[in-house]
Amino acid sequence: METGAAADSPAVDFLVVGAGVAGLRAAVELAGHGDVLVVTKESLGESNTHYAQGGIAVAAEDGADVGLHLEDTVRAGDGLVYPPAAQVLVSQGSLRVAELIEWGTNFDEATDSEGRRLNGRFLRTREGAHSLERILHANGDATGAEISRALVAHARRQPRIRFAEWTQVTRLVTAERRVMGAELAGAGPAGAGSGQPVAAPLRMRARAVLVASGGAGQVYAETTNPAVATGDGIALAAEAGAELADMEFYQFHPTALALEGAPRFLLSEALRGEGAYLRNGRGERFMERYHPQLELAPRDVVARAIAREGAVEGEARPVYLDMRHVKNVDLHRRFPGISAFLARHGLDLACDLIPVRPAAHYLMGGIRTDLSGRTSIAGLYAAGEAACTGVHGANRLASNSLLEGLVFGARAAQAMLADALPLIHTESEMPQEAKPLSAAEEQHLEATIVRLRSAMWTHAGLLREESSLREGLARQAECDAALAGLAMGAKRGRRLSEAQALSRVAEAILKSAVARTESRGAHFRSDYPRRDDQNFGRHSVLGANREVIFERW
């Protein structure tokens, strides 16, 4: 990093916000051409990538599967996938996965019936809505953690990549009609989870800024996402004036553990890929009533089926994942992480019915970009779950997310290099020093976050309708006003910033869901239960004016 004149803030060539698969892949690409600063608000590797269990979908090396992978992706997206984006994903995926292997990622190898390795061939499995087996795994059910480990190690070997851990981006700085940097504030682990203020922000200039900060699952009371997934990057981009797209499409994973006293732990789709059944409270296998692919139907179909089968006298109850009949797979070896977690709660995949319910899992929408990560604002790029290229349409195909991060992270970096934007020298006023929240204000903040997340789960969850969505908007506005009151007087802290991001994301989801008066993919309106291609075979776009329009891409 360089330091200019006294009036100038420090600078770096490229600033990457987020250290998941998209951010790290981009950083590696950029490192051969300039100094890169990767900013992550917790420790390196703590991201949605790390917690991804199921695997990474990639067409077989002989290329015969590329067309089928494209067809499966488009079909799962329920009429809204942008075909050029999906073509890029499936055609460039094998190259990006080959790079991962070269950099030290250890995917599970195939074995024969006696457990002997088959000459370095990788084990490929099948998940929901895939037409054949193309999912690569690592350590059974810890694929994301292995990919994250390898990428972090490879990135650390690049001398021009630096890392700012436990550091938060508090604002994107704009000048001359482009993003020219960001305000950063550091907070050590001791204060990371509290409402205490971060240190006085530092303005960091950059030739280009990439937002790869992941999703926003914490906007819902029930989610599989880790605590860091608060939509910060999406909110920062929107605040800077960038367009958002397809925000109404939030994917609810069908099978999160539904056990009192336990977290909403993700139970991978790979379990159903290995033959798990879903049974209701009466012990009936019910998916035949909803889709010909049964338990391997698209996620939106399975999630709504579970919600309906679990509704008893107005109360939401779990259904059960049943693997007791699966005899040809060593379940504890195939799913070591899941097995160990269940064992801590007295459950065994091979012997017990496992209670499950849907939970918020993945945002198909995000910051609107082209196929190279460019947003509607010069100097600002986005990739991964924070971005929306249209590649997932209305419903993401299982295990396409890690692949998306790799492919579009690399493409965004290539666009940042091709655009070759210069550093902007500015004498702009430096940010104010933050003031602490009082103990009473911290309690009020946490209560406001709980109210917001509860309102989103109640009013913008799996099943939606106009009156409920508008009630959700009213509750969001109340929470937003409360947060604005807490922020008065230059008060700032990580938790307050996260709450403001969640509120901005909640507003975008609610407004987009109100505007789309049809049902499609992950967006189901009980008052408009049919798909309407004539009026809504288009993408929703939320502009700087916070109003929704629909466009064909």
Q: Is 490 exposed, middle or buried (0-12, 13-18, 19+ CB in 10 A)?
A: exposed
Domain for residue 542, yes or no?
Answer: no
Q: Does the pLDDT value for residue 530 go beyond 70?
A: yes
| pLDDT for res 70 | 95
495 is catalytic: no
Residues 260, 235, single domain; the answer is no
Residues 157, 22, single domain; the answer is yes
Mean pLDDT for the chain?
90
Residues 138, 155, single domain; the answer is yes
Q: Does the pLDDT value for residue 231 go beyond 50?
A: yes
Q: What is the pTM of this model?
A: 0.91
| pLDDT for res 425 | 83
Residues 44, 85, single domain; the answer is yes
Domain for residue 326, yes or no?
Answer: yes
Q: Does the pLDDT value for residue 433 go beyond 90?
A: no
Domain for residue 431, yes or no?
Answer: no
44-48, 72-76, 139-143, 192-196: range with lowest mean pLDDT? 192-196
Domain for residue 456, yes or no?
Answer: yes
| pLDDT for res 394 | 96
The residue ranking higher by pLDDT, 395 or 434, is 395
| pLDDT for res 50 | 65
Domain stop point among 359, 380, 404: 359
Residues 218, 192, single domain; the answer is yes
Residues 378, 346, single domain; the answer is no
| pLDDT for res 115 | 59
Residues 228, 261, single domain; the answer is no
Domain stop point among 422, 455, 470: 422
Count how many domains the chain has.
3
Q: Quickly count: other Cβ atoms within 10 Å of residue 365's Cβ.
A: 31
Give the model confidence (pLDDT) of 266-305 as tens digits. Answer: 898 889 989 999 999 999 999 999 999 999 988 889 999 9
| pLDDT for res 188 | 44
* Percent of the chain topping pLDDT 90: 74
| pLDDT for res 430 | 60
| Mean pLDDT (whole number) for 173-198 | 69
Catalytic residue among 299, 368, 464, 475: 299
Residue 296's domain is classified under what CATH number?
Answer: 3.90.700.10
Domain for residue 414, yes or no?
Answer: yes
Residues 284, 354, single domain; the answer is yes
Domain stop point among 359, 377, 402: 359
Domain for residue 237, yes or no?
Answer: yes
| Mean pLDDT (whole number) for 138-160 | 90
Q: Does the pLDDT value for residue 151 go beyond 80?
A: yes
- Closest of 426, 484, 446 to residue 175, by C-alpha: 426
Residue 115's domain is classified under what CATH number?
Answer: 3.50.50.60
Residues 296, 370, single domain; the answer is no
Residue 514's domain is classified under what CATH number?
Answer: 1.20.58.100
Domain for residue 200, yes or no?
Answer: yes
Own/partner pairs, 314-320, CB within 8 angstroms, 24+ separation: 316/357, 317/281, 318/258, 318/355, 318/356, 318/357, 319/278, 319/279, 319/280, 319/281, 319/286, 319/355, 319/356, 319/357, 320/278, 320/279, 320/280, 320/281, 320/353, 320/354, 320/355, 320/356
Residues 206, 309, single domain; the answer is no
Band the pLDDT of 397: cuts 50, 70, 90. very high
Residues 204, 348, single domain; the answer is no
What is the domain extent for residue 515?
439-529
Rounded alpha-carbon distances, angstroms, from residue 382 to 11, 416, 446, 518: 20, 10, 29, 28
Classify 280 as helix, strand or coil: coil
Domain for residue 4, yes or no?
Answer: no
Give the model confidence (pLDDT) of 339-361 as tens digits. Answer: 999 999 999 999 999 999 999 99
| Mean pLDDT (whole number) for 385-411 | 96
Residues 404, 451, single domain; the answer is no
